[in-house]
A and B are shown apart, each in its own frame.
Chain A
Amino acid sequence: MLDVSELQTIEHDVLVIGAGGAGLRAAIACSANGMNTGVVSKSLLGKAHTVMAEGGMAAAMGNVDARDNWKVHFRDTMRGGKFLNVWRMAELHAKQAPDRVRELEEWGAVFDRTKEGLISQRNFGGHRYPRLAHVGDRTGLELIRSLQDHGIHQGIHFHMECTALGLLKDGERIAGAVCYWRETGRFVLFRAPAVILATGGAGKAWRVTSNSWEYTGDGLTMAYHAGAELMDVEFTQFHPTGMVWPPSVRGTLVTEGVRGDGGILKNKDGKRFMFEYIPPKFAAETADTVEEANRWLEGDKKARRPPELLTRDEVARAITAEVKAGRGSPHGGVFLDIASRRPPEFIKKKLPSMYHQFKELAEVDITKEPMEVGPTLHYFMGGIRVDADTQMTRVPGLFACGEAGAGLHGANRLGGNSLSDLIVFGKLAGDGAAEYVRKLSTRPAPVKDQIEQIVRGATAPLNRESGENPYVLQDQLQDMMGRCVGIVRTEAELKEAIDGLDKLNARAKNVKAHGASQYNPGWHAAIDIGNLLLASEIVTRAALMRQESRGAHTRLDYPGERDEWLKYNVVIRKSASGEMEVEKVERPAAPPNLYAMAHATIEDLEAGKVGAEEGK
């Protein structure tokens, strides 16, 4: 058996798990606070899902439309999230995002510019004003590279191709994590009094997804096992526009920037259908004629926004409805047309990566033809429940940020609020962890039994004589989640998913990895499947509990938002006996000033009749 004393041991003040935008920003904050900081990432540095983010990062800088400010951004975010957001997080985010963007520029990021030489900002769904700082349609690359190139000079220790397997605790407190190096298959013990989870969501539980292989819910499930709570996980965002053809790229993201820059959605009859799907809540602020929508595109500030720029949940549902009604495109999506709206040079300049992607993968020239698009699982609004200001979970020393954390987005995330989430709450998590470590009088020590248990669990698939193929299990899980826990849900389907998960769980206990432990994707998949199954169960049970339709969570058997459900978050935790507890937890009352701002009319907010005391 493993001798724990001989295990490679690395000590840090703070261990950050995940090297996307949130993890890197958190690590930079820790190191700026004088902490010895380590970052582990499953992939090479700079390859995390952040690199795929396209459209931009939302920050009310007012560079393109001076009417924009944090209050409008806050109001948009609350309305987009159907008022289920954690008020304080939406406030912190709207207030701090501009500084975080400017800081990136100070670290070398090169955003697109306005005529005045300022950072350019583009339109996106749910944002009242052009607000997304961007670099063409490869903003995520710019973000991650800027953080990476800055971070490598900050004394941070990067541990690449290193997979976290489980968290360690000393009593109630976090004590570190056990990981393994992909290159060698060897285990490594990280001792750290604080751990920040920046591990993203679990999109890989679905077949049609924009997520990479890394999105297997590791952070969510490690936090669950460590005693943290999960919140809002029923809200899984289906981005309205993923590629639908050819099959090998089904799910690959098509940026909302296409619609922000003028792209329109049409059904197979050529009809621009989004005008039929404007919900009453957004009617006052959305154009109801093609003529007005066109004036908006031409820059008429009095015109209201086109309905293609409604929030993602609204657009995704509308596309699903069109396809279901038999008015979809040949491959089961709808048409997204920018070719007839903008000249080729504009499209190539503003959407170079989309041009490239369609040309090379689908052999479609988007400057000449429309794209075929449909909803794709994109983002977890929910995640680990954290304190808004410090990002600490209820487990002392355990922090979470980015997509792995919950609270900012409520029931639905606005496009562009993710990249700004990463840098705002990444920094707060780093500051929070540093402060926690500074105040510790004794450092926790990892417990030997826990280490052994994690290693035993990880090596079991290699040691079995025979068993299930992990790829097949993942495939079947994806099928089932797509079918039963998709964009529209019913109790019967969700219960079917619970049954299905039980069966898959039983089989997963017998999963077999062939070959040696060195750089073995089969072994990795065998480890991943446990996390994917648990994350899927968490989503499914939360979705079963929430008996209403709100944001990204649509229940056919409980249509429409129900006011009584606005009072609750669905919170999930592991009970002392190891059972999954799902609970409706009453939300704290909204601060009156924030409540008034979120519910004000835009005219009252901008005229200063509401929120004037908050400053610009």
Chain B
Amino acid sequence: MSKRTFRIWRGDKDGGKFVDYQEEVSEGMVVLDMIHRIQASQAEDLACRWNCKAGKCGSCSMEINGKPRLACMTRMNVFGPDETITIQPLKTFPIIRDLVTDVSWNYKQNKRIPKFKPKPKNADGTHRMYQEDVDRVQEFRKCIECFLCQDVCHVIRDRDRKNEFVGPRFMIRLASLEMHPLDDDDRIPEIKKEFGSGHCNITRCCTEVCPEHIGITDNGIIPLKERVVDRYYDPIVWVGRLLTGKKVRTKTRAEEAGEKPNDE
């Protein structure tokens, strides 16, 4: 048992500051336990999101000593004995209050993605898929929507291109649809033109912070980029299509409908 100093950002959209709290740490505790202790004893109105406290729901995302992490999965024994623990909200999203940010933009992105479109069922009423075919999709589906990857993505965080790139979370969501053995839709033109696959410059920051250890960049985003390249830029594929007369979509649905590209 020892008292530790926690420097927690307090405030709202109009501004705020770091406030220091001293609190007793017990064996086996995680940062979220400490926030709860501080709430119960010193700062009852300290705002913080959390639900499962077991790394399964992705609610308690915050920046701890500068690193985007889940508070429930950050053990106190990873810090040095005299280290002050600095806790602040995700930097990339607008602040609501204290450690809570407005992540509604992410929910809007998800809604823009064309939904799963299944192939017809077999005559026996089943869909057959094999484990080796679903393994890679299952990796993407482990995503708990903590939005830590969105928080560290350069395109969103530093360049604020939220209107041009959906971010790593939704690139792997798109990948989970595009690589789904049963899915019958084609989203490649949208991935290029609406969801901004070209913006990702593969720094792998998103992969590094993923608490579910999903290979966001290598397994999700790069293969999508390759599909885009194949569709639009590969001369061999292009000639092949010319010879076989095979048609593929290069316009988004919005373009096909005569609308301007979606730049919401």
Which A residues form the contact surface with B (CB < 8 A)?
A: 43-49, 51-52, 102, 105-108, 110, 112-113, 116-118, 120, 135-136, 138, 140-142, 145, 149-150, 152-153, 158, 160, 183, 212-214, 245-249, 252-253, 352-353, 356-357, 360-362, 469-472, 475, 513-516, 518-523, 525
> B164 at the A/B interface (Cβ < 8 Å)?
no
Q: Tell me the complex Cα distance, A140–B125, Å.
A: 24
Q: Tell me the complex Cα distance, A49–B59, Å.
A: 12
Cβ of A116: which chain B residues have Cβ within 8 Å of it? 128
Most buried by B among A48, A160, A515: A515
> B111 at the A/B interface (Cβ < 8 Å)?
yes
* Contacts known (A520-B45, A523-B45); A112 close to B56, Cβ less than 8 A: no
Cβ of A142: which chain B residues have Cβ within 8 Å of it? 141
Q: Tell me the complex Cα distance, A136–B56, Å.
A: 13
Cβ of A213: which chain B residues have Cβ within 8 Å of it? 50-51
Q: Are B47 and A519 in contact (CB under 8 A)?
A: yes
Q: For the complex of A and B, list the 8 residue pairs with the smallest distance between their C-beta atoms, beginning with the closest.
A: A246-B28, A515-B45, A522-B44, A117-B128, A108-B116, A471-B40, A519-B97, A519-B47
Cβ of A515: which chain B residues have Cβ within 8 Å of it? 44-45
Q: Tell me the complex Cα distance, A118–B103, Å.
A: 37
Cβ of B48: which chain A residues have Cβ within 8 Å of it? 521
Q: Tell me the complex Cα distance, A56–B140, Å.
A: 19
* Contacts known (A107-B116, A471-B39); A51 close to B180, Cβ less than 8 A: no
Q: Are B129 and A113 in contact (CB under 8 A)?
A: yes
Q: Are A247 and B144 in contact (CB under 8 A)?
A: no
Q: Are B45 and A522 in contact (CB under 8 A)?
A: yes
Q: Are B128 and A150 in contact (CB under 8 A)?
A: no
Q: Are A520 and B47 in contact (CB under 8 A)?
A: yes
Q: Are B130 and A117 in contact (CB under 8 A)?
A: yes
Closest to A107 in B: B116
Closest to A114 in B: B131
Q: Are A113 and B134 in contact (CB under 8 A)?
A: yes
Q: Are A110 and B137 in contact (CB under 8 A)?
A: yes
Cβ of A247: which chain B residues have Cβ within 8 Å of it? 26-29
* Contacts known (A149-B115, A519-B96); A252 close to B54, Cβ less than 8 A: yes
Q: Are B56 and A51 in contact (CB under 8 A)?
A: yes
A275 CB, min distance to chain B CBs, angstroms:
31
* Contacts known (A113-B134, A469-B40); A44 close to B49, Cβ less than 8 A: yes
Q: Are A135 and B55 in contact (CB under 8 A)?
A: no
Q: Are B53 and A249 in contact (CB under 8 A)?
A: yes
Q: Tell me the complex Cα distance, A513–B43, Å.
A: 11
Q: Are A519 and B100 in contact (CB under 8 A)?
A: yes
Q: Are B180 and A248 in contact (CB under 8 A)?
A: no
Q: Are B126 and A118 in contact (CB under 8 A)?
A: yes
Cβ of B144: which chain A residues have Cβ within 8 Å of it? 51, 141
Q: Tell me the complex Cα distance, A120–B59, Å.
A: 30
Q: Are A357 and B57 in contact (CB under 8 A)?
A: no
Closest to A42 in B: B51
Q: Tell me the complex Cα distance, A472–B36, Å.
A: 12
B226 CB, min distance to chain A CBs, angstroms:
22
Q: Are A248 and B29 in contact (CB under 8 A)?
A: yes
Closest to A111 in B: B134
Closest to B116 in A: A108
Cβ of B126: which chain A residues have Cβ within 8 Å of it? 102, 117-118
Contact of B116 among A140, A149, A361, A475 (CB under 8 A): A149
- Binary A-proximity of B134-160 (CB < 8 A = 1, otherwise 0): 100110011011000000000000000
Closest to A357 in B: B54
- The 13 sampled A-B contact pairs (Cβ below 8 Å) are A108-B116, A112-B131, A113-B129, A113-B134, A158-B107, A214-B51, A247-B28, A247-B29, A248-B33, A362-B28, A469-B44, A514-B44, A518-B97
Contact of B39 among A45, A153, A158, A521 (CB under 8 A): A521
Closest to B127 in A: A105
Q: Tell me the complex Cα distance, A425–B27, Å.
A: 43
New A-B contacts (12) at CB < 8 Å, excluding given A515-B45, A522-B45: A44-B49, A52-B57, A112-B134, A112-B138, A118-B128, A136-B138, A247-B26, A361-B28, A361-B73, A519-B47, A521-B39, A521-B48
A214 CB, min distance to chain B CBs, angstroms:
7
Cβ of A45: which chain B residues have Cβ within 8 Å of it? 107
- Binary A-proximity of B1-34 (CB < 8 A = 1, otherwise 0): 0000000000010000000000000111110010
Closest to B50 in A: A213
Cβ of A471: which chain B residues have Cβ within 8 Å of it? 39-40, 44
Q: Tell me the complex Cα distance, A465–B47, Å.
A: 21
* Contacts known (A105-B127, A145-B141, A471-B44); A212 close to B52, Cβ less than 8 A: yes
Q: Tell me the complex Cα distance, A313–B121, Å.
A: 40
Q: Tell me the complex Cα distance, A340–B104, Å.
A: 46
Cβ of B130: which chain A residues have Cβ within 8 Å of it? 113, 117
Q: Are B128 and A246 in contact (CB under 8 A)?
A: no
Q: Are B59 and A43 in contact (CB under 8 A)?
A: yes
Closest to B212 in A: A356
Q: Are A110 and B138 in contact (CB under 8 A)?
A: yes
> B118 at the A/B interface (Cβ < 8 Å)?
yes
A41 CB, min distance to chain B CBs, angstroms:
11
* Contacts known (A44-B59, A110-B180, A141-B56); A472 close to B110, Cβ less than 8 A: no
Q: Tell me the complex Cα distance, A44–B118, Å.
A: 28
A247 CB, min distance to chain B CBs, angstroms:
6
Most buried by A among B50, B103, B141, B180: B141
Q: Are B56 and A246 in contact (CB under 8 A)?
A: no
Q: Tell me the complex Cα distance, A152–B137, Å.
A: 21
Q: Tell me the complex Cα distance, A557–B50, Å.
A: 40
Cβ of A140: which chain B residues have Cβ within 8 Å of it? 56
Q: Are B30 and A117 in contact (CB under 8 A)?
A: no
Q: Are B142 and A141 in contact (CB under 8 A)?
A: yes
Cβ of B142: which chain A residues have Cβ within 8 Å of it? 138, 141, 352
A-facing residues in B94-110 (Cβ within 8 Å): 96-98, 100, 102-104, 107, 110
Cβ of A117: which chain B residues have Cβ within 8 Å of it? 126, 128-130
B24 CB, min distance to chain A CBs, angstroms:
13
Closest to A140 in B: B56
Q: Tell me the complex Cα distance, A51–B73, Å.
A: 16
Contact of A360 among B29, B40, B55, B103 (CB under 8 A): B55
Q: Tell me the complex Cα distance, A356–B49, Å.
A: 22
Closest to A158 in B: B107
Contact of A518 among B12, B102, B138 (CB under 8 A): B12
A447 CB, min distance to chain B CBs, angstroms:
32
A471 CB, min distance to chain B CBs, angstroms:
4
> B68 at the A/B interface (Cβ < 8 Å)?
no
Q: Tell me the complex Cα distance, A44–B125, Å.
A: 35
> B161 at the A/B interface (Cβ < 8 Å)?
no
A32 CB, min distance to chain B CBs, angstroms:
15
Q: Are B138 and A361 in contact (CB under 8 A)?
A: no
A204 CB, min distance to chain B CBs, angstroms:
12
Q: Are B98 and A519 in contact (CB under 8 A)?
A: yes
Q: Are A356 and B59 in contact (CB under 8 A)?
A: no
Cβ of B168: which chain A residues have Cβ within 8 Å of it? none
Q: Are A51 and B57 in contact (CB under 8 A)?
A: yes
Q: Are B75 and A360 in contact (CB under 8 A)?
A: yes
> B46 at the A/B interface (Cβ < 8 Å)?
yes
Cβ of B49: which chain A residues have Cβ within 8 Å of it? 43-44
Cβ of B118: which chain A residues have Cβ within 8 Å of it? 105-106, 108
A-facing residues in B185-217 (Cβ within 8 Å): none
Q: Tell me the complex Cα distance, A210–B118, Å.
A: 35
Q: Tell me the complex Cα distance, A107–B180, Å.
A: 12
* Contacts known (A110-B138, A110-B180, A361-B75); A52 close to B54, Cβ less than 8 A: yes
Q: Tell me the complex Cα distance, A345–B226, Å.
A: 31
Q: Are B28 and A110 in contact (CB under 8 A)?
A: no
Cβ of B220: which chain A residues have Cβ within 8 Å of it? none
Q: Tell me the complex Cα distance, A117–B115, Å.
A: 23
Cβ of A44: which chain B residues have Cβ within 8 Å of it? 49, 59, 103, 107
Cβ of B167: which chain A residues have Cβ within 8 Å of it? none
Cβ of B128: which chain A residues have Cβ within 8 Å of it? 116-118
A-facing residues in B56-91 (Cβ within 8 Å): 56-59, 73, 75
